[in-house]
Amino acid sequence: MPQQMTVTNPFKERAMIPIESDMFFGREKEMQRIAEMLSGDRPQCVSIVGERRIGKSSLANRVFHKIKNEGNTRAVYIDCDGIDGDCQTKERFFQLLNQAFCDAAKEKQGGNLFDNYSSFKAFVKKEGGNGVKTIIFIDEFEHLPEHSFADDTFFSNLRALANNPDNRLAFVSVSKTALKELTHQAVKSSGFWNIFEHVYLGLMEHESIVKLRRYGFEKTGFALTKEAEEKIQYYAGAYPYFNQVACGFAWDAGRNNATVDWKRLEVQLRPHYKEIWDNRKVEEQKLLKDLKGINAKEEFILNDLLVRGLAIQVEKTYSPFSGYFAELIDKLFEVKKKKLSEKKIIQHIKDGLDILLKGKEVVKGDKS
Ligand SMILES: Nc1ncnc2c1ncn2[C@@H]1O[C@H](COP(=O)(O)OP(=O)(O)O)[C@@H](O)[C@H]1O
Ligand SMILES: [Mg+2]
């Protein structure tokens, strides 16, 4: 089939799916929910939370493209992973933000809408007064508080701006951890986190996953066999990233007229599953090891696992989100040892010293 020899693997995306790609599926409900929160005169701040490679950036970017051309809206998308180490002052941050706004407005390089917090505040106030909404998407949000400029004042100021409805300003943060769980004190103490409405991104719906799997094969003139589809279900469940990897792998074999060597796929997938496992808290790991005997307290942990797409429920039983993940948990992954808090370490040392001292006294006593 010479025509097929020239096509490239459709399952090639590994990071944010480009807006023009036709390989983005599902997420309609989440997209609608976020868009609704941002619509209306007074937009609501939204925090998109989900595991690594569950599709947060791809989704956020699509919402961004949807709303950026709406009337009376200025929207920008910044990725905090890309903020330079030399961005050390608040002024520098606002200048970078200014550049993003100028790019979005296609103003010429070096355009100046604002260059520090107070001119940003004036800018937002003026825009809001003119009925214009300002929406700032902040991807990889957890990297923002790592910068020294992002202190309590920085977040308190942003919070105050977004809290004033007349400004019509909203942030859309994208992160792996819920904002209030970010360990950086500035996010907590400023109360910045509590102006957000959370949207948790979990596994994809069944129909969207089926489309993802079949469409790439069909559009390139290949058929996905039932047997391969079952294997992909085993290796990937409804986790979009694992599906893209597994489908891409099966597609390559199909193009080369070879049988799929699933054991080789395992080698590719295992480190990613390991990463998911290592990122779990001890309690979550313990629960994933035994999803059958759940007590009342553990129901809350289980609920988190279900919402985040790490576990699934089929009728009355719970299991890890894919057969392969279940097998790794059962045979390979171990529950990590709980880290001792500083307080506990000091207590242990004290207890040890106590025992030693008492021992010495006894020995002394014996001698005399
Ligand atoms: N809705 C989707 N449809 C198809 N593939 C997806 C979807 N969401 C995520 N993926 C797959 O997962 C990869 C990572 O997505 P990304 O949006 O970068 O995740 P995150 O930002 O959560 O780390 C994408 O490159 C793609 O392979
Ligand atoms: Mg991302």
Dist. CA 240 → ligand 1 center (Å): 6
What pLDDT does residue 110 have? 57
What pLDDT does residue 364 have? 53
Shortest-distance atom of ligand 1 to CA 25:
3
Predicted confidence (pLDDT) per residue in 29-41, tens digit:
999 999 999 998 8
Q: Could you tell me the sign of the dihedral formed by the alpha carbons of 340, 344, 348, 349, in that order?
A: positive
Shortest-distance atom of ligand 1 to CA 245:
27
CA atoms within 13 A on the CB side of 237: 22
What pLDDT does residue 44 have? 97
Dist. CA 12 → ligand 1 center (Å): 11
Q: Which of 31, 53, 140 to mutate to test the pocket of ligand 1 (most atoms within 8 A of CB)?
A: 53
Shortest-distance atom of ligand 1 to CA 52:
23
d(CA 282, CA 291): 14
Q: Which of 16, 58, 137 to mutate to test the pocket of ligand 1 (most atoms within 8 A of CB)?
A: 58
Dist. CA 368 → ligand 2 center (Å): 71
- What does each of the 368 residues of the chain score in pLDDT, given as a tens digit? 444 457 899 999 999 999 999 999 999 999 999 999 999 889 999 999 999 999 999 999 999 999 998 889 999 999 999 888 778 899 999 999 999 999 888 754 557 899 999 999 999 999 999 999 999 999 999 999 989 899 999 999 999 999 999 999 999 999 999 988 886 777 778 888 889 999 999 999 999 999 999 999 999 999 999 999 999 999 999 999 999 999 999 999 999 999 999 999 999 999 999 999 999 999 999 999 999 877 777 889 999 999 999 999 998 899 999 999 999 999 999 999 877 777 777 777 777 777 777 766 555 544 43
Terminal CA-CA length for the chain: 98
Taking a C-beta distance cutoff of 8 angstroms, is the pair 187, 155 a contact?
A: yes
d(CA 131, CA 42): 10
Closest CA to ligand 1's atom 12: 241
Residue 98 tokens read as 């200014």
Protein residues whose CB sits closer than 6 Å to any atom of ligand 1: 13-17, 23-27, 50, 52-58, 212, 240-241, 244
Dist. CA 356 → ligand 1 center (Å): 57
What pLDDT does residue 88 have? 85
What pLDDT does residue 120 have? 97
Local structure of residue 107 (DSSP, 8 states): P
